[in-house]
Structure 1
Amino acid sequence: MTKLRLRQLVIAAPGPEVADDLRKVFQLGKPFHDKAVAEFGLKNSVFSIGDQFIEVVWPVKDDAPLHRFLERNGGAGGYMVIFETDDIDAARTRLDGAGIRRVWNIDLDDIAASHIHPADVGAAIISIDETRPWGSWRWGGPKWKDEAVEGELSGAILESPDPNGLASRWAAALGIPATTHPDVTRIALDDDQTLIFQKGEKTMLEGFCVSLQSAMKALERADDLGLKSQGDTVWVGGVRFVLNND
């Protein structure tokens, strides 16, 4: 069986302020700034949580394609989901056979990746990445283990007026069947991670599910920063973070 797990979630923002808020709310370590994203007219901050990552990207060039997302979305929001696989060749064969477009590909000694056209799946860009060795992560920078805080990304929440249709497109791209329940549709990944598809007015990557130590303190810090919070949830960069105590 091919392995597939959630490795990184990405927020698109107009500027670096969202990254600053994210670091303060969750008491994250020093971010990695990947110069390679300049290819897309961007700058970024990548934060490590356990062996997973939250990235914030923002445009620094007038012709950066990210501007179109920010205009459509009305500001910052969930932008990309990156999965780790142990067989990129099988993933590419599946995508090509299903007519799902790959819009960017890279093959390096330590990682190979393909980005999927968001119009072919909906809600967000999907990237499928094979690491060599398994568990490494070039996109986190050379010191990500030193900067990691304890915790994990346990899933993502996607919304659509047609959540079952959205889930079926993601299932085809990932090669994992979706299961439908009365109120929600899910795709189960390795490591007990879950993609949740629910009904909403817009098709979007709406929420991140995060397990952290002292989640309640994160909510208190969000209040101090003037960010919206309610119950076990805080909103940062247009994304709803559903928190669990780790």
Structure 2
Amino acid sequence: MFHRLRQLCLVARELDPVVADLIAVFDIEICHHDPDVGMFGLHNALLPIGTSFIEVVAPTQPGTTAERYLDRRQGDGGYMVITDTDDLDRWRAHIDAVGVRVAAPLAIGSYQGLQLHPRDTGGALLEINWTEGNGAIDGPYHPAGPDWRGHVRTGLVTAVTDAELQAADPERLARRWAEILRREVRAVGAGEGEGFAFDLDNASLRFVADSDGRGEGLGGVDLAVTDEAAIRRRAAARGLGVADDHVVVGGVRFYLRPAA
């Protein structure tokens, strides 16, 4: 049985500029535009990094949940944390037992998903999904389309290793998410981003204090990179935020960690 961090979703007022920045800064490419997100009044693009994905969504009509989220968090930023598993029925029963509502049950061909109600989870939208044949990490993954493997580029970035959620009370949020995802919380020091964390099977979720005044949400993504300096140069050339350990794209801090 597995439970993996598979996809991190950013939300933007305009799709194309953020996607263009991701492509230019990290030398990655689009693998799929998912028409099924149209049911939420959105359009999107997915970009693989190793065997994980960065998704960007943007509203195509007024009054969407995504538009309200953009207003609440003062612009483009992190939106969803998406995991995948081989046993969705197990999670349905557990989610009900810990008092979390399913905001959107999804069933699209070989794909099923549970989008959890953010008022019950806190932090960000959390989704658990299953795709037929997804046992191998490089196997089918419905949201990324049929040919995602052919779009993986590893010249500058090789993996997503962590996601960082921020909150006024990071310990409380960490323990709530750990309860939902059946994990053990640990404290982490300044070297890892001071706060609390727990591990999924292929990555970690880290919970830190809100330091940018934007409230609870997905604030950062850790990437395994092969050339930190090149990424910083590329970000600076596009007028994006650059710091010693991260660059800012689409309102999200992308932390640059040396690839193993």
User: Given the alignment, which residue of 155, 167, 171 partners 1:160?
Assistant: 167
Are the counterparts in 2 of residues 94 and 175 from structure 1 also a CA contact under 8 Å? no
Q: SS at 2:8's partner residue?
A: strand
User: Given the alignment, which residue of 184, 188, 195 partners 2:199?
Assistant: 188
Change in Cα spacing, 1:58 to 1:195, as seen in structure 2 (3 Å) is: same
Cα RMSD of the aligned pairs, angstroms, is 1.4
> Please, what TM-score do these two structures have when normalized by structure 1?
0.94
Residues 133-212 of structure 1: pairs in structure 2 closer than 5 A: 133=133, 134=135, 135=137, 136-150=140-154, 151-181=158-188, 183-191=194-202, 193-201=203-211, 202-212=215-225
Instruction: Tell me, in whole angstroms, the C-alpha distance in 2 between the residues paired with 1:110 and 1:3.
Output: 18
Aligned-pair CA distance for 1:177: 2.2
Identity level (%): 34
Residues 113-132 of structure 1: pairs in structure 2 closer than 5 A: 113-132=113-132
Superposed CA deviations along residues 162-219 of structure 1, whole A, max 9, x for unmatched, are 111101111122121212356421111113x111111225222110011133232111
Structure 2 counterpart of 1:142, which letter?
P
Instruction: Tell me, in whole angstroms, the C-alpha distance in 2 between the residues paired with 1:172 and 1:27.
Output: 37
Instruction: Tell me, in whole angstroms, the C-alpha distance in 1 between the residues paired with 2:132 and 2:182.
Output: 21
Instruction: Tell me, in whole angstroms, the C-alpha distance in 1 between the residues paired with 2:87 and 2:31.
Output: 29
Give the aligned length. 244
Instruction: Tell me, in whole angstroms, the C-alpha distance in 1 between the residues paired with 2:188 and 2:152.
Output: 35
Aligned-pair CA distance for 1:110: 2.8
Q: Which runs of 5+ in 1 are unaligned?
A: none
Instruction: Tell me, in whole angstroms, the C-alpha distance in 1 between the residues paired with 2:110 and 2:230.
Output: 37
Q: SS at 2:105's partner residue?
A: strand
Aligned-pair CA distance for 1:111: 2.5
Instruction: Tell me, in whole angstroms, the C-alpha distance in 2 between the residues paired with 1:237 and 1:221.
Output: 15
Are the counterparts in 1 of residues 31 and 147 from structure 2 also a CA contact under 8 Å? no
Residues 1-246 of structure 1: pairs in structure 2 closer than 5 A: 2-16=1-15, 17-108=17-108, 110-133=110-133, 134=135, 135=137, 136-150=140-154, 151-181=158-188, 183-191=194-202, 193-201=203-211, 202-246=215-259
Structure 2 counterpart of 1:37, which letter?
V
> Please, what TM-score do these two structures have when normalized by structure 2?
0.89
